[in-house]
């Protein structure tokens, strides 16, 4: 069950030969837990999801399931594939775990129709049988889920949130028509977060929180609760956001973590070139 408005989208650790390093991935999640972070999202865009094979995703899922953290944190697992068959298979595996919910992304590159995407999503949701956050990120996938398609999917009560990385104006339109006041509208990353919250976003899928978890969580809470942030902390957050997002954010996050001795390994090239 998904109950947290703030989660951190964690990177996946890879060795120098680009093989999967599960231990470092779990160690990073454990460090976030020690910093009072209550929710993480694994195997999403920040986790270089589409570089992972199905076997690697299942290996990561099993490791998370067998970690003591499974009972201590809210755990969201990314499900998306260029092949629906693989996404459905992963969803079925997730259904048998203690994973809290899934982040359901759409197939990159192939540009499905809206009708095809709705069927894809419903088939995954049926197999996962978990709380679902729909993830619309046309900048990464090339596919943009329309407002009408979102409304069609929201007929499924397992969908508890929407992570909208496309047109933020969709949120205001959807909120006017929705009766569910407990629905989570996630901003993807910290860029323009204050403006997005004014538009109706009420949750954050954080990237910068990998580096400064407490600082970024407090910054989000202050925006969401419309309370003030200390000038010094606000300055730190703005510097961090600018540093992370001025180039490839995934590469920059790993670079900073490694420099700070919080080893998270390399990216899979071309990221990190």
Enzyme catalytic residues: 135, 163
Which residues of 71-202 form beta strands (DSSP E)?
74-79, 101-105, 131-136, 159-164, 184-188
**Residues whose CB falls within 8 Å of the CB of residue 76, separated by 6 or more in sequence, listed in order:** 2, 7, 39, 40, 41, 42, 99, 100, 101, 102, 103, 133
Is cis: bond before 270, omega within 30 of 0? yes
**Residues whose CB falls within 8 Å of the CB of residue 213, separated by 6 or more in sequence, listed in order:** 8, 32, 35, 36, 37
Task: Flag whether 27 is marked binding.
Answer: no
HSE, CB side, 13 Å, CA atoms: give it for residue 176.
7
Q: Look at the block and give the residue holding tokens 């990216």.
A: 267
How is residue 54 written in tokens? 């199905």
- Separation CA 115–CA 11 (nearest Å): 32
- Separation CA 12–CA 271 (nearest Å): 13
Contact 47, 264 (CB under 8 A): no
SS3 state at 241: helix
Residues comprising the binding site?
Answer: 46
Residues comprising the binding site for pyruvate?
Answer: 46
């Amino acid at each position: 069950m998904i109950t947290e408005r703030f989660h951190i989208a964690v990177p996946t650790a890879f060795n120098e030969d680009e093989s999967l390093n599960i231990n470092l991935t779990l160690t990073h999640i454990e460090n976030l837990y020690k910093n009072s972070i209550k929710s993480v999202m694994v195997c999403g865009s920040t986790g270089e999801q589409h570089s992972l094979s199905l076997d690697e995703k299942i290996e990561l899922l099993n490791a998370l399931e067998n970690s003591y953290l499974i009972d201590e944190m809210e755990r969201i697992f990314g499900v998306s594939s260029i092949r629906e068959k693989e996404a459905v298979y992963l969803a079925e595996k997730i259904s048998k775990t203690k994973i809290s919910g899934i982040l359901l992304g759409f197939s990159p590159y192939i540009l499905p129709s809206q009708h095809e995407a709705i069927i894809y999503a419903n088939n995954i949701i049926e197999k996962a049988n978990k709380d679902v956050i729909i993830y619309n990120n046309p900048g990464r996938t090339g596919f943009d889920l329309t407002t009408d398609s979102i409304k069609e999917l929201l007929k499924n009560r397992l969908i508890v949130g929407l992570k909208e990385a496309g047109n933020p104006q969709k949120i205001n339109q959807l909120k006017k028509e929705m009766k569910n006041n407990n629905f989570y509208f996630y901003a993807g990353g910290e860029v323009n977060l204050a403006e997005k919250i004014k538009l109706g976003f009420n949750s954050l899928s954080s990237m910068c929180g990998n580096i400064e978890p407490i600082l970024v969580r407090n910054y989000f809470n202050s925006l969401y609760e419309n309370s003030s942030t200390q000038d010094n902390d606000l300055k730190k957050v703005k510097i961090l956001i600018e540093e992370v997002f001025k180039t490839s954010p995934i590469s920059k996050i790993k670079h900073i973590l490694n420099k700070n001795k919080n080893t998270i390994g390399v990216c899979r090239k071309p990221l990190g070139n």
